Amino acid sequence: MRPGRAGGRGDVRLYDTIDSTNDEARRLSEGGEIGPLWVRALGQTKGRGRRGRSWLGEPGNLFTTGLFTLTCGPAEAANLSFVAALAVAEAIDCFVPPHEVSLKWPNDVLIDGRKTSGILLESWQGPHGFHLAIGIGVNVRTSPDGIDQPITCVSDHLRTGQSPVSAEILFEGLQARFHDWFDLWSQQGFAPIAKAWLARASGLGQPMIVRLPHETLEGRFHGLAAGGALQLEQADGTIVDVTAGDVFFG
């Protein structure tokens, strides 16, 4: 399987403050850019999160979007949110004590159980093929208010003796790790990605609530389905695959 090429690490376009790196990736694609390309901004004025939420653009934090043109369709491309989450987690690992970083379905990265990074995938069909923007926000220096779950930033968890971390240094690690995982995904598909993701997933086997737009489900976090859906084991033992929703443990 060769759903796309990361083609090295890709060029980087660095902006001062812009509306949203996802919007800029889309504009670049409409201008003929096919990637792989990384858009990075020092601040955002209209950052978007999942499910229509906003994502605050505090300077000092990391705001970046990878732009890719893929030969696979949307279902397979969705695997790349897990690739991105693994890359973010490993980039943060370098700065914080061991075992502090975990992953929460679908694609949050937590330090000490609190959200420090969110990922927003957006895709569209263009004249050159199927395009994917992988937007990644990491709280590096500050933990902005405005999300409905405990939040933190990398700088609050630095391991002893670690010098201050910047968005730029974190981005370099993230970009390198992303392309390694991307290449593995291109060659071997989702299975090794799912395995690595589950190895650091928070709440596996634990009771959970999944909030969907029109209903709330309860059960246990059983695992990941082949395409990345969350497998929820209900009280009667049946497994339900959840493709979108907000997850709460405990």
Which residues of the chain form contacts with ligand BTN (CB under 6 A)? 20-22, 44, 47-50, 53, 55, 63-65, 118-120, 135-137
Place of tokens 């926000």: 137
Task: Retrieve residue 229's tokens.
Answer: 């859906």
Q: Minimum CB separation from ligand BTN for residue 165, in Å?
A: 17
Amino acid identity, position 111? I
- By C-beta, is 151 or 193 nearer to ligand BTN? 151
Q: Minimum CB separation from ligand BTN for residue 250, in Å?
A: 20
183: exposed, middle or buried (Cβ count in 10 Å: 0-12, 13-18, 19+): middle
DSSP state of 228: S
What does each C-alpha distance from 198 to 76, 102, 213, 223 come to in angstroms?
18, 10, 25, 7
Residue 207: is the preceding peptide bond cis (ω within 30°)?
no
Q: Minimum CB separation from ligand BTN for residue 135, in Å?
A: 3
Task: Retrieve residue 97's tokens.
Answer: 């004590």
- By C-beta, is 53 or 128 nearer to ligand BTN? 53
- By C-beta, is 36 or 118 nearer to ligand BTN? 118
Q: Minimum CB separation from ligand BTN for residue 238, in Å?
A: 29
- By C-beta, is 20 or 143 nearer to ligand BTN? 20
- By C-beta, is 21 or 155 nearer to ligand BTN? 21
Contact 3, 76 (CB under 8 A): yes
Q: Minimum CB separation from ligand BTN for residue 44, in Å?
A: 6
Is residue 218 within a helix (H) or strand (E), and if so which, with residue range?
Answer: strand 216-224
- By C-beta, is 191 or 249 nearer to ligand BTN? 249
Q: Minimum CB separation from ligand BTN for residue 130, in Å?
A: 19
d(CA 51, CA 33): 27
Amino acid identity, position 245? G
Contact 132, 121 (CB under 8 A): yes
